[in-house]
A and B are shown apart, each in its own frame.
Chain A
Amino acid sequence: MTTNKTYPRLTIRRRLRRFLCDRTFWSLLLATGLLGTLTGLRNSQRQGLHPRQYDRIKAGWHHCADVVLIGDSRVMCGLSPAAMASQLPGLRILNYGLAGQGLCPEVLDKIEQLLDPQSQRKTIVLGLSPALLRGGIGGIGGEKPKGPQSATDAPAHQRIVRQWFEPLVESLDTMSIQQILQVTFGRTKKRYSLKIYHADGWMETSLVPENRSRALSHYIKRFSDIAVRDGRLLKLLTDRIRRWHSRGIRLYAFRPPTTAKMVALENTLGGFNQDAAVAALTAAGGIWLPVDQTGYHSYDGSHLRYDAARKLSADLAEQIRRAEEAGSR
């Protein structure tokens, strides 16, 4: 058997000296200081909510809205409930757009649960982008629905640790080199993407410099793989619209505007047949809102810039208000 070593006792002075010469200690101390400074500076300049807080708020919505805006990232970035409120006063509007969202029964159930059962004007506004009908995430036969999860799948001990340390993780959010330079030296960034998360579900976005064909390659790849499965997903949607209609829930649908190139791509490679979709939705009781497909500014060929998003929101709200007024007459 091996014998244990014995170490000589150190005096306090020698211990202190040894401690002060410890490179591990100094590295960890410097790293903590550096992290604290950078994140402190960044967090003091942050606009809007933290992304995780935004996700948590969205996941927590339940029976709390009169109007729910649904769709994929084009709705999430393209519709501001605050901008709609001016045309639809007194209504609680929430944006439940989710990036990469597809249609599936679970998602449609969740949307229904967002509406306040006591509301007299239960309304769903659907941004029917072709990618929504493509299947994939949340689609029939696709992956599990994506979206703000409350992390209930994780075991309890993991959830508890996550909850305790959520504020720490949020404060240590990632930064790009440009961001670090900006918060450190106040240097204005030449290239950046703006993302401001609002409590009503809107994500205010922009890109500098703009690249209006950036999203095209992603969509070419996606549509090459799976084109729009209008038939199956449209049926799922129209069946649900009929049910909503019978329960007094109004459904307005529109095609989120983007660039001319993207519209052409979606209609050809994507296989999206807008006329057929409109006919099916209106037959089921939905109301189609025509939107100028290229009349709003997109910064990346897919999503709308924040000012265009506000304009679209106001325009849509006005159309909804007129439709409601016409309906009540």
Chain B
Amino acid sequence: MADAQAIGRPRTSLNVGNFLRRYAALSAIVVLLAFNFAVTPNFATWQTLNVNLTQVATIVIVSVGMTLVIATGGIDLSVGSLMAISGALAPLIFLSPFGRDHLAIGNILAFVVPIGVAGLLGLFNGWFITRFRVQPIVATLVLFIAGRGIGQVITNGNLQTFKNPSFQFIGLGRVFGLPCQVLVMLAMVAAAAWMLRRTLFGRQILAVGGNEKAARLAGVPVAPVKRWVYAISGLCAGVAGLVVVSINSSSDANLVGLGMELDAIAAVAVGGTPFTGGRATVVGSLLGALLIQLLRYTLLANGVPDAAALVVKGAIIAGAVWSQQRSMPS
């Protein structure tokens, strides 16, 4: 497991209890899988796997950026709204007269521009936070509220429906039998985990989260690091927005990414990244999202209503935080 902090530590011999706490999400996934294989009808099929992975992909993509933000000790509430903006922009571009005349260029722009705009808005979050020393939860609340409004303004509040197979490949296409967005998700998780562990930027993120004052005195450019982290979170949200509208073949700025910020934060929490900053595991966030998804699926497939599933989701988050505190040396 590519825990960003635990790079080859030969020190302590892990006993079973420690292991369970440390890899709580993973252990829970294994238990749930075993349960489903035994009980749930038609569980061991490609279709089940694909359905679950498809549903979880956007949450994971957003929680990659969220993990980095939380690693600096911050939070990003604007991701769902940025998804709506990105999802609103793409069809505007490939449905425009220019997009219809130049299909290839239109489709490329329909990827680049929305993701770029979401990244810039993320950069704005970071700028707002570092320039005026606003608390991240307040600073990103601005775009959380305004972002969805912007999305509706640029589409006049209209539902945009479309059929554009080459653009929608990101949401509907398959590579080697796997949904395209699942591969995008895996690639982003791998890239972020590697970045966090091996690059200067990754180490500086953790240093800023671990002790901002010490990091500054050691020459870490604290403000730029934070700005970039929020920009990356914006980029991730941009990608997720495109995936969602592709799956739906429609874009509704009212609904795209609704509640996503909380799903992503939940995934990060269950994955074992502490909200105090300084430690982070992107793979953990992936596992956290998978666990929440798998649990929900398990309950639904066995006839438990979605409303009850929400309660269980809350319980999982509480349990994850509890197990984190237990494993934390005081």
Q: Do A and B bind each other?
A: no
